[in-house]
Chain A
Amino acid sequence: MSDATLSFDEALAKYDPVLGFEVHVELNTKTKMFDAAPNAFGDEPNANTTPVSLGLPGVLPMVNRTAVESAIKLGLALGCEIAPVSEFSRKNYFYPDTPKNFQTSQYDKPIAENGSIDIELEDGTVFTVDIERAHMEEDAGKLNHKGGAGRIQGAAYSLVDYNRAGVPLIEIVTRPIRGAGERAPELARAYVAAIREIVKNLGISDARMERGNVRCDANVSLMPKGTDALGTRTETKNVNSMRSVERAVRFEICRHAAVLDSGAKIVQETRHWHEDTRETTSGRPKSDADDYRYFPEPDLVPVVTDAEWIERLRAELPEPPAERRRRLKAEWGYSDEEFRDVVNAGVMDQIEETIASGASAAVARKWWMGEISRLAKQREVEPGELGISPVTVVELNQLIEKGEINDKIARKVLEHVLEGEGTPAEIVEQRGLAVVSDEGALSTAVDEALAAMPDVAEKIRGGKVQAAGAVVGQVMKATRGQADAGRVRELILQKLGVEG
């Protein structure tokens, strides 16, 4: 049964949405959070376990140093304070994906707190999102439901693979985000994109959403316009693509508005996002934190940080993505719009490499935003995944600059590169695509064209220099596009005794 919703515009006319996010990031450490089993995706089920990750009696967990350092780096990248002393706690609940019957997490002493990041929307608007905390914990195993179409509802039984149980996670929790208004769904998407970009840039996660490396729970509540008390929120789980996050937030805003409009109350609960129907459905009522009966993990001692450790890690941080974008934009001299298009097309890295390989900023942009983007679109892939390397672009451009090929032929060469025919130079050589630079042959072609178009020739003689275009076209046709159009034009004017 579908829930009633208001249209997005109606909802926004009456209510101000407030957002909040819990993003889980799976780290790409070699081993798990508390034991030395491999942290690997796609292996044979239950082949990556130890007695610790299976929660067998009498085992002792031990914290992964690299995971702690990843958490500290992420905390620093999010502008957080790193706790001098942080501790692990047990979050108790019974569910087959958790073999220990508790998740080892952090509760009242997280590793990082009180940060903020600036989130830039596609049109350049910046929202500051405050980070409440980032804490370390472990992932759960993977359930495979059997019967009932593979869903938990109606399943006859379930199979459990504990390879993922114990994989290091960092959960990043925001403070309530107010004031996004109609940009709320867009901000949701941009926030998740920013977190993904940050963890990828830090090198601490593979950040592949389709593999669940970055997972977002999106909290939504509404405040009637003109009020400022937070409304009851729902937490939508299972939103595992940036597009889904945007859609789920939009849906919840419209659903909340309809519930509030009808005079009913929002039930504080988790909701499940369904990408197929683009709706959320009711999950379990949100348990009070107390129900998890958190208590300090007796088997793990505190993590104590000092300035020396933190500063060593801070020195290892790469340039933040947002700063890098500002720097590159200034270096390349692109306009706001040009640069935003480059970022949105996902070709910033490619352009940077192309420039580093010797092309100018203008040339790099021309190819990546022009022909390469067009070819990528045609093949329904991202430009960066097309298989054209920055070096290829530089080579292609050098052939143009040397006058060996023109732009039109260069575009053909690029298609042949995609077909695996070799480097641009090899293709030009093998296919005989070099422009006709044999002056004798060009001269003959021009003579023939002028002879075939006597009235045009007369016009040009009479001073209508722009009419030369028709003759150039004729020559290009005769040479199958392999002549240098500029040189052809010069020859025409020269032969007719006209000044260019």
Chain B
Amino acid sequence: MSAISRDQVAHLANLARIEMNDRELDHMAAELDVIVEAVRSVSEAPIQDVPPTSHPIAMSNVLRDDVVEDGLTSEEALLNAPDAEDGQFKVPAILNED
């Protein structure tokens, strides 16, 4: 049985705002299945004595003093914007009319 269903891929695609047709969903489900299968071997590792960790490096408290540094100007911030107006990023209508 495959680990990833087409419905799951459709759900993920929706969350990621990626439009996928049926053929693509089937294709992606199969590909993801291979990946999940490959990663599954990790669950066989003997981890009984290993504490859970979220980072490979044992570091903590990398903190910054609360001091303002030069950032971007408004013009610089907008350099990569596909569209801009009044010094702001311009984005398409958020809600679809329905």
Contacts and interface: CB of A to CB of B under 8 A. Distances in A.
Residue with the highest number of chain A CB atoms closer than 10 Å, among B68, B71, B78, B93: B71
B48 interface: no
A296 interface: yes
A49 interface: yes
A297 B90 CA distance: 29
A160 B90 CA distance: 6
A159 B85 CA distance: 7
A155 B68 contact: no
Contacts of B67: 30-31, 36
Given A46-B88, A304-B61, A155 B77 contact: no
Contacts of A67: 66
Contacts, number: 135
Interface string A80-98: 0000010100001111100
A23 B77 CA distance: 31
B22 interface: no
Nearest to A92: B15
Contacts of A49: 71-72, 77
B96 to A, nearest CB: 11
A46 B74 contact: yes
Interface string A115-145: 0000000000000000000000000000111
B62 A31 contact: no
Interface string A39-55: 00000111111110110
Interface stretch (B23-31, B33-41, B52-60): B52-60
A87 B54 contact: yes
A63 interface: yes
B50 interface: no
B73 A47 contact: yes
A93 B14 CA distance: 11
B16 interface: yes
A297 B67 CA distance: 23
B86 A29 contact: no
Interface string A142-158: 01111000001111111
A96 B60 contact: no
A291 B55 contact: no
A368 interface: no
A298 B65 CA distance: 21
B15 A293 contact: yes
Nearest to B88: A159
A161 B69 CA distance: 19
Contacts of B69: 31, 36-37, 50
A95 B92 CA distance: 11
A301 B59 contact: yes
Contact of A62 (B16, B55, B60, B62): B62
A423 interface: no
Interface string A47-87: 11111011010000011111110000000000000000101
B63 A68 contact: yes
B54 A160 contact: no
B88 to A, nearest CB: 4
Given A30-B68, A65-B65, A301-B57, A46 B94 contact: no
Given A30-B66, A54-B77, A157 B91 contact: yes
A303 B62 CA distance: 8
A301 B55 contact: yes
A384 interface: no
A394 B15 CA distance: 64
B93 A155 contact: yes
B62 A96 contact: no
A38 interface: yes
Residue with the highest number of chain B CB atoms closer than 10 Å, among A67, A94, A158, A297: A158
B20 to A, nearest CB: 15
Contact of A47 (B74, B86, B93): B74
B92 A291 contact: no
Contacts of A153: 95
B87 interface: yes
A52 to B, nearest CB: 9
A158 B93 contact: yes
Contacts of A96: 89, 91, 94
Nearest to B80: A56
Contact of B61 (A47, A50, A303): A303
26 contacts: A29-B66, A30-B67, A31-B66, A36-B64, A37-B69, A46-B78, A50-B72, A53-B71, A63-B62, A65-B63, A85-B60, A93-B15, A94-B15, A96-B94, A155-B95, A156-B93, A157-B91, A157-B93, A161-B87, A161-B89, A291-B15, A296-B55, A297-B54, A298-B55, A301-B57, A303-B63
Given A45-B88, A301-B57, 13 more contacts: A30-B66, A36-B68, A37-B71, A45-B86, A49-B72, A67-B66, A155-B93, A158-B94, A160-B90, A296-B54, A302-B61, A303-B61, A303-B63
Interface of B: 15-17, 54-55, 57, 59-69, 71-74, 77-78, 80, 85-95, 97
